[in-house]
Amino acid sequence: MENKPFALLIKDHETVKDLIERLLQTSASAKRQRREMLATLKAELELHEKLEEQLLYPPLEHRKATRDLTLEAYEEHHVVDMLLDELESLDFDDQAWKAKLTVLQENLEHHIAEEEQGLFPKAEKTLSAKQLEHIEKELAEAKKR
Ligand SMILES: [Fe+2]
């Protein structure tokens, strides 16, 4: 698994999916818990998006095979960020809170599936071994920090 390209990003995806799943199980009265878990989720997602947008998407944006999916991925990150902001400013016991979180989950699952089944395999074929190695190395170093 560790040798698989983008294994670190895929691991992030699992972490994030798991966090959302647990967050969906909280009750409306657990406001403090929701606030804390949402802050963790936001920090995870922000770092993950930043790494993808800095290291992976730029070389993919300029190749025909990956261009459309990459442009779409930027927009999907944007939607996720908007939903996170809205979840933060909404009252944690508002009845719309869980509904909004469910929409975030659905959006993320779509985005993750498109990356893991579409963009990542295409990137593996399109980028040179050297580029892939460089991306993996930078990701691993950024993760350590
Ligand atoms: Fe992503």
Domains of the chain, CATH where assigned: 7-144 (1.20.120.520)
Q: What's the CA-to-centroid distance between 70 and ligand 1, angstroms?
A: 9
Q: What share of the chain is helix, strand, coil (3-state, %, to 5)?
A: 85, 0, 15
Bigger pLDDT: 5 vs 119: 119
Percent of the chain scoring above 90 in pLDDT = 94
Look at residue 3 in the predicted model and tell me its pLDDT.
Answer: 60
The helix-helix angle for 7-24 and 129-144 (nearest 10°) equals: 50
Å from CA of 29 to ligand 1 middle: 31
pTM above 0.85, yes or no: yes
The pLDDT tens digits of the residues spanning 1-58 come to 446 779 999 999 999 999 999 999 999 999 999 999 999 999 999 999 999 999 999 9
Looking at residue 1, what is its pLDDT? Answer: 42
